[in-house]
Amino acid sequence: MSPRYSHRHGLKPLGAGIGLRRDFYDALPRTTRKLDWVEIIPENFLSLGGRSQRALDACRERWTLLPHGVGLNIGGPDALDDDYVTRLAALVKRLDAPFFSDHLCYSRLGGVHLHDLLPLPFTEEAVEHVVPRVREVMARVERPFLLENPSYYAAMPGGTLQEADFLRQVVEAADCGLLLDVNNVWVNATNHGYDPRAFVDALPLERVVQVHLAGHDVGEKVLIDTHGDRVCDDVWALYRYTLERTGPVSTLIEWDQAIPSLDAVLDEADLARGVLAEASR
């Protein structure tokens, strides 16, 4: 196993964090609850002023902020959006974020933003396409970069690689980190009928710098990755399984739909912090 990505870049586990969402712009900076770090969606701060910036500045005074994008379009056919990358780099520097992340997917076609995270075909062609784009982003932003394993509901045509191989080939060739979304692993494993633990074992775990946990909706025939509920027991169990192999890593509770009270989200972060403590013993 190669040296851990986090060690090479001096990245330490930050503990348990939650996302800065609009519902929490006023309450989060004032909370007296324990919180180790905060994730932001940079698209909400790159070109919006007013309340967004005030909330960002207030949180920056208290916590490490980690930008986690949804609009980089790292796998798409369009050239990288120069304005987006320029603003992202400026934001990462302004926040002094230790690293930043986005998803291994595409989100723009023909100049149109899809505002969703669409899966790539698991092919060598896609690997060859994505890797230089990741390198370009890292060179421009000049911070360690993580790619997240996205959820997907259908395998795209022409796939020649297993999903875990595809992830491995991209992050190893690009030499970036991996943001392991454990809920996505569970959702994908259920929807596509594979063993989630074997999938975790097949990943380049030495590159995992951050974990996402979230809730999902249980449909009639498919699980939907909504980030709209508490983390379910199966995902907590898979999280423990993962930490047994990675050791403690920065962990985020994602809650983006049907957002409850701030306390309810922080309760989930407390649970994650407890599991992290178990993992570090």
Partner 1 sequence: MKPGLKHFFDSMDAYLSGPPGAEGLSKLSASHPGWDVAPERMALYGQFVRGHVRSTLEKLFPFTRKAVTAAAWDALVEGYTRTRPARHYELNRLGEGFAPFVADATQAQGLPPFLPALARFEWTDFAVFASEEALPESVERLTPNPTLAVLEQPYRLCAFVRAQDGAVQPAAGDELALLWRHPEALVTYYMAATPPALLVLKMAVEGLSEEAVAQATGMAAGDVHAEVVRFAKDGLVLRPAG
Nearer to partner 1, 158 or 274 (CB): 158
CA 276 to chain centre: 18
Give the DSSP letter string of 78-117. Answer: SPP-HHHHHHHHHHHHHHT-S-EEEESSEEEETTEEEEEE
Q: How far is the CB of 10 from partner 1 (least distance, A)?
A: 30
Q: How far is the CB of 181 from partner 1 (least distance, A)?
A: 17
Chain residues binding partner 1 by CB under 8 A are: 43-44, 46-52, 54, 71, 76-77, 81, 84, 106, 109-116, 118, 121, 123, 125-126, 128-129, 153-158, 191, 221-222, 224
Q: How far is the CB of 223 from partner 1 (least distance, A)?
A: 11
Nearer to partner 1, 170 or 249 (CB): 170
Strand partners, 178: 147, 208
Give the DSSP letter string of 43-86. Answer: GGTSS--THHHHHHHHHHTTSEEEEB-S---TTSSSPP-HHHHH
Nearer to partner 1, 79 or 277 (CB): 79
Whole-angstrom CA distances from 137 to 41, 81, 82 are: 17, 10, 10
Q: How far is the CB of 143 from partner 1 (least distance, A)?
A: 19
Q: How far is the CB of 258 from partner 1 (least distance, A)?
A: 14
Least Cα distance to 250 among 209, 205, 206 occurs for: 209
Nearer to partner 1, 117 or 262 (CB): 117
Beta carbons within 8 Å of 86's beta carbon, 6+ residues apart: 140
Nearer to partner 1, 127 or 200 (CB): 127
Q: How far is the CB of 7 from partner 1 (least distance, A)?
A: 33
Cβ atoms of 269 and 17 within 8 Å: the answer is yes
Backbone φ, ψ for residue 177 (5° rounding):
-90, 175
What burial class does residue 119 get, using C-beta atoms within 10 Å of its C-beta: 0-12 exposed, 13-18 middle, 19+ buried? Answer: buried
Q: How far is the CB of 120 from partner 1 (least distance, A)?
A: 8
Cα–Cα dist 177/109, whole Å: 26
Nearer to partner 1, 47 or 162 (CB): 47
Nearer to partner 1, 78 or 165 (CB): 78
